[in-house]
Amino acid sequence: MPNETPDGAALDAARWAALIEAVALRQDRNAFAALFAYFAPRIKTFMLRSGASAQSADELAQEALLAVWSKATLFDPTSAGAAAWIFTIARNLRIDELRRQKRTPTHDTSEVDLEFQVDTGPQPDAGLAAAQLESRVRGALAGLPEEQLQVIELSFFEEKAHAEIAQALHLPLGTVKSRLRLAMNRLRSLLGDFS
Amino acid sequence: MTISHHPPDELLTAFAAGTLDLGQHVALATHLAGCSHCRTMVRAMEQVGGAVLGRLPPAEMSASAFAAVQARLGERAAAVPAPAVQDLSEQGFRDIAGLPPFVRQYGDSSWKWIAPKVHFRPIELPRPSETRVFLLRSKPGTKMIEHTHTGFEMTCVLSGSFAHDGGHFGPGDFDFGDGSDDHEVVIDSADDCICLVAMQGDLKLQGMIGRLLQPLIRM
């Protein structure tokens, strides 16, 4: 069952949020299984593309889902979308893992989390609710040409971002930069009213 | 505070993607601490990260993965308490405003004189980073080093202001030098100008201050 992934399109953002809340409120194992089935295999891909071995990627995906389980009560649907929240968990685990590889492990996993808390205020950006932000970003992404989307996607993996993206896509560096800029400008214009 | 110079989009994206090294991350976080505009952009890029994650093709999990995780759910059943928004403001760098809280855990040190009117104070990162981070305090009227980067330099103004041919930079502003330009920086505030600087690569400094600064910055 965990290896069977449900159709992604069927699980929309609201449903993921509801599943996380079911885990938070009732420790609902069926809800957790659904989250695992969808996200664990994708987090594994995320880790593989970030350079992890198959075994390590599998373990990191497991850790990420364990963190989803144990941190579900911290999920605040008014400040983050469900997929974005899970993304940040996977991202922070990836950072932690890279430090382990360099033999400079963090003292505990919350260290990376703390590094992303740039502000002490409880509602630093109350101006833009998560649901609005999420739907605007979704709309913006839907409107992006595939070539811009590709460049944005690759930005999430490559440390030496632009040069390597250019290489992977067989494009001149300048083209990669201009595509990323076009995509970001579009995002900015859609978010502009709020910032 | 009016912020008019922001990090370029690719740096905000890299921050959200988690691909910056710690020194770069500190510089971005310092700007973000004071800039709600860029915080919104980072949140938007985290939403993009969620969308990217959701679009990835699934990789097959190992046969035992789900059972292994299920077996461990019990040990995590007790919900972890919300991470205490640790009050780190009483730790390092007490005299410096505008730093993100986590930086206050890092090793502090005293100001070191490095040149007339210029003091330098390293921020000791808890792990190796290709990018070094330090504070630089310059007296009003200081004409700073004219230099050519061979790497990049990120500067966040914490107090005071400076100007160079790329504009005027006050508190909260972020100046990104990618190695292509020569700067002649003039401190134009009435009080000291304190900046957080993240720097990669070697500096080729010119002039007396440069000759003094260079060995120190190489550390």
Q: Which residue of B has its CA nearest to A158?
A: B19
User: d(Cα A140, Cα B16) in Å, to the nearest integer?
Assistant: 17
Strands B203-206 vs B112-115: parallel, antiparallel or unpaired: unpaired
Question: pLDDT per residue over B47-77, tens digit each?
Answer: 899 989 998 999 999 999 999 999 999 875 5
Q: Is A101 on the interface with B (CB under 8 A)?
A: no
Q: How many CB atoms lie within 10 A of CB A169?
A: 15
Alpha-helical (H) ranges within chain B are 9-17, 22-34, 36-55, 65-73, 207-218
Question: Higher confidence at residue B16 or residue A6?
Answer: B16
Q: How many CB atoms lie within 10 A of CB B102?
A: 22
Query: What CA–CA distances, in Å, run from B148 to A154, B145, B177, B184, B210?
Result: 31, 9, 9, 10, 11
Give, for all 195 residues of chain A, the pLDDT tens digit.
333 334 443 347 789 999 999 999 999 999 999 999 999 999 999 999 888 899 999 999 999 999 999 999 999 887 778 999 999 999 999 999 888 887 665 556 678 999 998 875 544 455 566 677 777 787 788 778 888 888 888 888 765 556 666 777 778 878 877 887 888 887 777 766 544
Task: Work out the percent of chain B whose per-residue pLDDT is above 70.
Answer: 78
Residue B66 has its nearest CB partner, among A2, A70, A156, at A2
Residues β-bridged to residue B193:
B138
**pTM (2 d.p.):** 0.87
pLDDT of A10 reads 35
pLDDT of A6 reads 40
Query: What CA–CA distances, in Å, run from B71 to A42, A66, A68, B66, B74?
Result: 21, 10, 15, 9, 7
Residue B73 has its nearest CB partner, among A69, A159, A177, at A69
C-beta atoms of A94 and B76 within 8 A: no
Query: In chain A, what residues touch B56 (CB-CB under 8 Å)?
Result: 42, 45-46, 49
In 3D space, the residue among A95, A44, A93, A42 whose CA is nearest the CA of residue A70 turns out to be A93
Question: pLDDT per residue over B156-174, tens digit each?
Answer: 999 999 998 889 999 999 9
Question: pLDDT per residue over B105-144, tens digit each?
Answer: 999 999 998 878 889 899 999 888 888 899 999 999 888 7
